[in-house]
Amino acid sequence: MAEGPVHFLNLEYFFRLLYALATNTTPPAADINTILISIWQVVIAVGYSLSALFLGLMVYFTMRYYQTQKAEEEKYETIEPEHAEKEVRHARWEHIESLIESPTDSDWRQAIIEADIMLDDLLRARGYPGATIGERLKHVDPAKLVSLNDAWEAHKVRNEIAHQGSAFKISEHTAHRAIARYENVFHELGEI
């Protein structure tokens, strides 16, 4: 069988040559050249492998960075403040309307409480002082808010719910009437 050139790296030979260099036994000049060539071939192979790996990682992470950046831009894109406020307010009111249309009295209670929180946020945003909604409503000028009485009546229903909890028997008529009163206030104030 004819033997051809060896096309693989013989590690035993490589380590024997390194051992010979470390123990100060001088191998022939051909052996030193062979050692240097073998070392250089290993360095080249490792260098190409690492370069390819890091290039692949760099491409992958760059693509992921741009995908994440695009997703964040879509999620947090800026819209006009007037449009944003109306969208949020309408969505909040739509949630309250969906609760009041439910057949269960627990949803009616929640709708009234949510509407009262919405009223509190609105009064606070308009700068009315006070720690509670009742205190803020006392500072509202009846000449500037025709539906102030509606706000008081709706807030009284909310207080009954808050103080008595599930012991307060709320009828569908009372719940719808309270929400209608909140709706009058919000319409007058331009909230919905």
State how far the Cα of 7 lies from the Cα of 58, in Å rounded to an integer.
32
State how far the Cα of 191 lies from the Cα of 179, in Å rounded to an integer.
14
Q: Could you give the C-alpha distances from 105 to 31, 119, 174, in angstroms and in order?
A: 94, 21, 11
Summarize pLDDT for 95-147 with one digit per residue, the tens: 889 889 988 888 899 999 999 999 998 888 888 888 888 888 888 888 888 88
Summarize pLDDT for 149-185 with one digit per residue, the tens: 889 999 999 988 888 877 888 888 999 999 999 999 8
Query: Which residue would you say has higher pLDDT here, 58 or 125?
Result: 58
State how far the Cα of 11 lies from the Cα of 55, in Å rounded to an integer.
28
Query: Which residue would you say has higher pLDDT here, 33 or 61?
Result: 61
> Average pLDDT, stretch 16-25?
71
Domain residue ranges of the chain, discontinuous segments joined by +:
11-73, 81-188
Would the pLDDT of 1 be above 80? Answer: no
